[in-house]
Amino acid sequence: MRNEEWKNNGSFMDVLTPDQRHKCMSHIRSKDTSIEILLRRALWREGIRYRKNYDKLQGKPDIAITKYKIAVFCDGELWHGKDWGNKKDQIKTNKDYWVNKIERNIMRDNKNERKLERMGWTVIRFWGKEIKGNLTDCVNVIKETIYEIKHNLHNTEYEQGYDENSALMAAETEPEYGQVKREK
């Protein structure tokens, strides 16, 4: 079939033939992607040293700054489900397969992130378009995180959520000096 015929057939996701799509998909890389290389080069220019595709950590972060326990992931919008609630309805071909695959990716990303945080790592995720469009901002986020960790300003407990049992409630008052706080 020619591309014009594919365009007019509403049951397909794009204008490529299956052979063309196969060729394109086979060239997609899992590491050393253009967005990873772009961010790594910018970090290196700033003097920030890292490990790439660090396989000693859960989820194999694209960039691991081991000195400060920072794991950076450079996520492609399609594969990691950016704006997934709206995007999944746009898939036309092999919908069940792609929806399941991308939702598994999202679940795996969340699971890996939680494990890394429990191990004391700070996880930073950037979308590909963020890196391409705002590289300086992405580098600054990493530099600010390093600064916060270096100066003990980075509170991972706060970011992981509030635990009712470990701290006073905001509206709770401390008992006056000499008084005993009574449980109700």
Q: Give the residue with greater pLDDT, 94 vs 162.
A: 94
Give the C-alpha separation, 127 to 38, whole Å: 13
Q: What is the chain's mean pLDDT, rounded?
A: 79
Give the torsion sign (CA, 131, 135, 141, 147). positive
Q: Kindly report, residue by residue over 127-154, the tens digit of the pLDDT.
A: 999 999 999 999 999 999 999 999 988 7
Q: Contact 74/132 with Cβ under 8 angstroms?
A: no
Average pLDDT rounded to a whole number, residues 64-83: 90
Q: Which residues pair with 64 in a beta bridge?
A: 51, 71
In total, the chain counts a number of residues equal to: 184
Measured CA distances, 164 to 107, 114, 154, 167, 168 (Å)? 26, 20, 21, 6, 7
Task: Identify the helix (H) or strand (E) that includes residue 78.
Answer: none
Q: In order of start, what are the domains of the chain with their CATH numbers?
A: 41-151 (3.40.960.10)
